[in-house]
Amino acid sequence: MSLSALAEVNPRRWLVRWPRILAGKPAKGAVAMDQKGFIRAVAEGTGLSREESADVSRAVLEGLADQLSEGEARRLAAGLPDLAEQLQARRRRRKEAHPVRLDDFIKQVSERTGMTDDDARAGAGAVLAVLREALSEEEYRHVTGQLPAEYPALAEAAD
């Protein structure tokens, strides 16, 4: 069977769903996505330009990595290999998770990007929605499990 026969294409999000192998077993629901595909999906979800989508993606991913425990930040980076370097470079070394209230997080994203709070909120929701697609269900649950409950709801609102 060819690799392309295993893939499931989602044209709306420019994603190709490949069976990913983790610890010898396929990760259910995992999507192979490069940085350009990630940014393109955020742009489509928000209506922002690709440059603005890249800025908000970087700010949100770095902000999430700052909140997660060291192990979950590594797991997030492993699930997004094309974005792993920037996540690890920015990551503060902490063993424990340090969640931030969603409103405070949106303000941080707004300050990092120069966007309005509304655009930062839409961008953060789109990034979380794309993460939900890019990671396996288990990986996404692990990441959002260390964040306040409003974060997954923001991804749902972005759909």
d(CA 29, CA 126): 18
Q: What would the two tokens of residue 58 be?
A: 């970087």
Domains of the chain and CATH, by start: 34-158 (1.10.490.110)
Nearest Cα neighbor of 145 from 87, 90, 86, 64 is: 64
| Pair type for strands 15-17 and 8-10 | antiparallel
Query: What pLDDT digit, counting tens, does each position of 74-130 carry?
Result: 888 777 766 666 565 555 556 788 899 999 999 999 999 999 999 999 999 999 999
Helix axes 117-134, 102-113, angle to 10 degrees: 100
Q: Which amino acid is at 136?
A: S
Could you tell me which residue, 116 or 9, shows the higher pLDDT? 116
d(CA 45, CA 108): 21
| C-alpha torsion angle, residues 137, 139, 140, 142 (rounded to 10) | 120
The pTM assigned to this predicted structure is 0.76
Predicted local distance difference test score (pLDDT) of residue 95 = 77
Mean pLDDT of 60-82: 83
